[in-house]
Structure 1
C-alpha cells in the first residue's frame, strides 16, 4: 500500500514538474548544472588579521570541520590553518563557538565537554580534539554518499562506479522526473525522513540529495 501511495505521489509531482518545465523552456537557458542549494560558488583565499588561510589540501575530519566553521560563521574558506585563532582571527563569539561545538556533536558524534571547550583556542586545537575522539561512523558524508549511490544505482540500473557527487541526474544518469521522485522516496525510507515535494522539484545533481540529508 505504501509503495502504491508513493508511486501516485511521484507521478503527480512529475506531471506538475513536466508542465512547469514546458512553460519555462522558451524563457530561459537551461541551468541544469546548478544544484538545489549553494554549490560551486567562487572560492576565495582570505587572510584574517594574523590567520594563515591557504588552499592546502585538508583531510577528514579537518575538511568536515572547515565546513562546520563555514556553516556557522557564514564564511567560505577552502582550508584553515591550525594556528588560526577562532575568536581572534575568525571573529567567532561565544554564541558562534557554542553552535560550532553543537554542530560537531550532531555531525560527528563528538561531544566536547565545557571544561575542554575552554582549552580550544585555535582551529588546530579543535582538530586535535575531534581527531582523538572521532569514531569515523556517525553522519559521515562519505557513508551518506555511499548509501545514496546505492539507492540511485538500484533505481536507475546504473553502475555505482558511474555515479559521482556532481553527476547531473537527467543529463549524466538518464533519469527522468519520475525517477528523481522515486529515488527521493527510496532515500526517505532508507534514512527515515521526509523530503518536501518542493525540494524534490529542485533536485538536479546527486549532491542535492546529500545536502538535504546533512542539513535537515
Structure 2
C-alpha cells in the first residue's frame, strides 16, 4: 500500500510542470537540463561582469567616502572654531562690562567687586556690542538702595587704627623683634633654668 501513494505523486508533478509552462507561454529553462546549464552559465557570466564592475568602482567609492569625511571634518572643525571664537568674544565683552561696572562703582561702593558680582554683564550690552553706561549707573544706584551697607564710608576724619606694640604688653618684659634675639633669649632662659 505505501507504494501506491508514491506513484500517484510522481505522476502529478510532471503534469503540474507542463501546465505551468503552458500558462506562462514560455518554456521553463529549469525543466530541460541543457537549457538549465545554459541559463546557469549566462547567470555566471553576468555575475562575473558585476564583480568586475564592483572591483573597478570600489576605489572610486573609497575616494568619495574620504572626500565626504574630509569635508565633514572640515565643516566640524570650522563649526568648533566658530563656537570658540563666539565664546572668546562673549568673554571679552563680559570682562569689558565688568571693568566698566567696577570703574563706575568705585566712586560710591566700598568694594566695587561686590557691585560687579551683583549685576549681570550681558544686560548692559546692545546688539552692536556697545556698553550702556547710563543703565549701569541707574542699576548701581538701585543696588545701593537695596544694599546700603555696600556704600563707601563718608569722608571725614579717620580714627587711628590701634597699635598693639604701644603700651605695656602685660608682663612687663618686651620680647625682641628679631628672630635671632628671640632665639638667644630662649636659649639663655633654658640654660639658666628659668
> Which bracket does the TM-score occupy, shorter chain normalised?
under 0.3
Larger helix fraction of residues: 2
Q: TM-score, normalised by structure 2?
A: 0.23
Q: Please identify the structure whose Cα radius of gyration is greater.
A: 2
TM-score calculated relative to the size of structure 1: 0.21
